[in-house]
């Protein structure tokens, strides 16, 4: 977890952070346990918590409806941007809502098939700097970003 979250702090009890606002819990477990855990969360905690997977045994418990698409929607409203103009990249289940909402949705080549099916375009894989390659295409005005006159 420290690879992604640099300010982690071990606590012995949730009471130590009782004054904090919790937005998500990040869990890491064996891939074999991800789907059963997510099904149990949906069944036992429907409405109170939602489970989503980012792959590699990671499961996030979030406030229902407070996924990446929700955050992008808030930004789009604030800045007056249409969802059709949003460029989004994803490779895991926690990206699905965002990818379905964004006009320029790209699945990474290394993404599972269900993620690829939710997007309009395919980007090279993470190990091939796929995000950077697509951003360079966008800045150069290449398809699918070419402006039509």
**101-113: buried (b, 16+ CB within 10 Å) or exposed (e) per residue?**
bbebbbbbeebee
Q: Does residue 19 register a pLDDT over 60?
A: yes
Confidence band for 149, pLDDT divided at 50, 70 and 90: very low
Residue 47's pLDDT band (cuts 50, 70, 90): confident
Q: CB-based burial of residue 36 (10 Å sphere; 0-12 exposed, 13-18 middle, 19+ buried)? A: exposed
Banded pLDDT at 144 (limits 50, 70, 90): very high
Of 149 and 82, more confident: 82
Q: What is the pLDDT of residue 9?
A: 80
- 14 prior amide bond cis, ω within 30: no
Average pLDDT, whole number, for the chain? 89
Q: What is the pLDDT of residues 119-130, one digit of tens each?
A: 999 999 999 999
Find all residues with CB under 8 Å of 58, minimum gap 6, and list them. 26, 27, 28, 92
Specify the pTM: 0.76
- Is the pLDDT at 148 greater than 60? The verdict is no
Using only the alpha carbons of the chain, give its radius of gyration: 18
Instruction: Please name each of the domains of the chain with its CATH number.
Output: 14-62 (no CATH), 68-139 (3.40.50.1000)
Q: Determine the Cα–Cα distance for residues 87 and 101; give it in Å rounded to an integer.
A: 10
* Count of other CB atoms within 10 angstroms of residue 58: 19
Going from the C-alpha of 79 to that of each of 5, 73, 76, 85, 149, the distances in angstroms are: 28, 10, 5, 12, 25
């Amino acid at each position: 977890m420290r690879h992604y979250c640099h300010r982690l702090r071990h606590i012995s009890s949730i009471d130590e952070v009782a004054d904090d606002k919790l937005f998500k819990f990040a869990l890491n477990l064996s891939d074999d346990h991800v789907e059963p855990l997510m099904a149990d969360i949906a069944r036992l905690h429907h409405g109170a918590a939602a489970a989503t997977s980012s792959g590699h045994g990671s499961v996030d418990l979030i406030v229902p409806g407070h996924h990446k698409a929700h955050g992008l929607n808030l930004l789009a409203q604030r800045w007056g941007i249409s969802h059709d103009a949003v460029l989004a990249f994803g490779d895991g289940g926690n990206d699905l809502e965002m990818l379905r909402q964004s006009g320029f949705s790209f699945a990474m080549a290394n993404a599972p098939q269900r993620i690829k099916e939710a997007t309009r375009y395919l980007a090279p894989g993470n190990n091939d700097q796929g995000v950077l390659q697509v951003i360079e295409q966008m800045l150069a005005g290449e398809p699918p970003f070419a402006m039509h006159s």
